Structure 1
Amino acid sequence: MQPRAVRLVQLSRVRYAELLALQERWLRRLQPEPGTEALSGTEAGALLLCEPAGPVYTAGLRGGLTPEEAARLRALGAEVRATGRGGLATFHGPGQLLCHPVLDLRRLGLRLRTHVAALEACAVRLCELRGLSGARARPPPYTGVWLGERKICAIGVRCGRHITSHGLALNCSTDLTWFEHIVPCGLVGTGVTSLSEELQRHVTVDEVIPLFLEAFKETYKCSLISEDSPN
C-alpha cells in the first residue's frame, strides 16, 4: 500500500498570527464546504513549519493566564493569545521550531493519543540524532519531551471530527528567560532547556528541520510533498 502524502509548508520566520491563519485555511480544506477545494484521496493534510518572528505567550483550553498576568506579559513586549489547543500557558519565540500538523487522522489510521505519542517520538528522535540520548516522553500531565526535569519540547494539540491542529514547539536556540515569567504548562518545579543549552553551541531552527522531517516521515509512515509558502 502506498504511504499517505502530507503537504510540507515551510514558512521560515513569521508572526504567530500568520501561522494560525494558514492553519485555519488548511482546516477548512480538510473540512470542505460544498463547492470548495478538497484534498485528493491520497493526501492526509499538511505539515506547517515555522520559527516565530517575535515573542508570544499562548494559553490553551485549560486557560493558564489571568487578565492581570496577560497585561503583565504584554508589558514585556510579547503578544498574548488564547488558542484552542489543549494544555495551559506556554511561550513561543525566535529560536523555536513550531510544527503544526493539520491532519485527517482517519487517513493515517491514527487515534488522537497515538498522534500525540508520534509527535513526542519525532522530537525524541531529533534529539537522539543530535546526540542527546536522554530525551524521553513522560506520561500526563508531563506531555512533551524532557531531558531529566527540563522540558525541551512542548506539545499541545486540538482535534475535532478527527482533524488535528496545533502541535509541538521545540526549543533550539530560544531565549529561555521568557519562560521565567510564567509557569510553563502549569508544571511547578520543572524547568526548560534547549538544544543550544544542552549541546553548548548555537543550534538554529534551519539546522534541525531536515532531521525533524526525517523523523516525521519515519514515525508517521508518510511521504512529504513540498508546497510553496504562501505570500
Structure 2
Amino acid sequence: MRQPAVQLVRLSRIPYTELLALQERWLRRLQAEPGTEAPSGTEAGALLICEPAGPVYTSGLRGGLTPEETARLRALGAEVRTTGRGGLATFHGPGQMLCHPVLDLRRLGLRLRTHVAALEACAVRLCELQGLPGASARPPPYTGVWLGERKVCAIGVRCGRHITSHGLALNCSTDLVWFDHIVPCGLVGTGVTSLSEELQRHVTVDEVIPPFLEAFKETYKCMLISEDSSN
C-alpha cells in the first residue's frame, strides 16, 4: 500500500506570526470544499518546522494570561499571543524547534489522541538518538516529553473537522530563564530543561531536525516531500 505524502516545509528562523500565517494558509487548503482542486502532493497535509526568531509567550484554549501578566511579559521584550491550541501558557523562542503538523487525520488513519501520542513518540525517539534514553511521555495533565521532573518538549494541538494544527515545541538551546516568568503549561512544581542543558553541550535546531524527521516518517508511516517554503 502506498504511504500517504506529507509536505515538508522548513522555514529556518522566522517570526512566530509568520508561522501562524502559513499554518492558516495550509488549513484553508485542507478545509477546502469537496470538489476543490487539492494542491499537488498534499495527500495528508504539511509539516511546518521552524525556529522562532524572537521571544513569544502563548496561551491556549484552557486559559489566557491576565492583562497585568500580559503587560509584564511584554515589558520583558516578548510578544504575547493567544492561540487556538490546547493547553495553558508556554514560551517559544530562539533555540527551540517548533513543529506544526497541519494534517488531515483521516488520510493517515489516525484519531486525535493517537496523533498526540505520535508527536510524543517522535520527541522521545529524538531524545534517545541524542543520547538521552530517560525521555518519556506521561499521562495528562503532563502532556509532552519529560526527562525526570523537567519538561523538554511541550505539546499543544488543535483539531477541527479532522484537521490538526499547532504541535510541539522542543527545547534545544533555548534560554530557559524565559520560563521563569510564567508557570509553564500551568504545572506547579515541575521544571523545564533543554537538550543542551541535559547533554552539557550546545545543541542547535538544525542538528536535531534530520533525526526528528526520520522519527516522524517512521511513526506516522508517511513520505515527506520537500516544498519551497515560499509557497
Scaled to the shorter chain, the TM-score interval is: over 0.9
Shift of residue 17 of structure 1?
0.2
1:5 pairs with 2:26: no
Amino-acid identity (%): 90
1:76 pairs with 2:39: no
* Other-structure match for 2:192: 192
Give the conservation status (yes or no) of the 8 Å contact 2:5–2:41: no
- After TM superposition, list the pairs within 5 Å mapping 1:34-183 onto structure 2: 37-39=37-39, 43-183=43-183
Give the conservation status (yes or no) of the 8 Å contact 2:7–2:41: no
Cα distance in 1, alignment partners of residues 161 and 79 from structure 2: 30
* Other-structure match for 1:24: 24
Give the conservation status (yes or no) of the 8 Å contact 1:64–1:186: no
Moved more, 60-69 or 178-187: 60-69
Moved more, 24-33 or 199-208: 24-33
CA RMSD, Structure 1 to Structure 2 (Å):
1.4
Shift of residue 114 of structure 1?
0.1
The amino acid across from 1:172 in the alignment is C
The amino acid across from 1:15 in the alignment is P
Cα distance in 2, alignment partners of residues 203 and 191 from structure 1: 19
The amino acid across from 2:60 in the alignment is G
Shift of residue 147 of structure 1?
0.2
Cα-to-partner distance string for 1:165-198 (whole Å, 9 max, x where unaligned): 0000000000000000000000000000000000
Shift of residue 39 of structure 1?
3.9
Cα-to-partner distance string for 1:64-93 (whole Å, 9 max, x where unaligned): 411110110000000000000000000000
TM-score relative to the length of structure 2 = 0.97
Call closer, same or farther: CA 1:227–1:41 in 2, change over 3 Å.
Answer: closer
Give the conservation status (yes or no) of the 8 Å contact 2:27–2:102: yes
1:223 pairs with 2:186: no
Cα distance in 2, alignment partners of residues 140 and 158 from structure 1: 16
- After TM superposition, list the pairs within 5 Å mapping 1:202-217 onto structure 2: 202-217=202-217
TM-score relative to the length of structure 1 = 0.97
Shift of residue 119 of structure 1?
0.1
Cα distance in 2, alignment partners of residues 62 and 51 from structure 1: 25
The amino acid across from 1:219 in the alignment is T
- In structure 2, runs of 5+ residues without a counterpart are none
- In structure 1, runs of 5+ residues without a counterpart are none
Shift of residue 50 of structure 1?
0.1
Cα distance in 2, alignment partners of residues 102 and 218 from structure 1: 18
Cα distance in 1, alignment partners of residues 114 and 39 from structure 2: 23
SS in 2 for 1:168: strand
The amino acid across from 2:99 in the alignment is C
Give the conservation status (yes or no) of the 8 Å contact 1:29–1:37: no
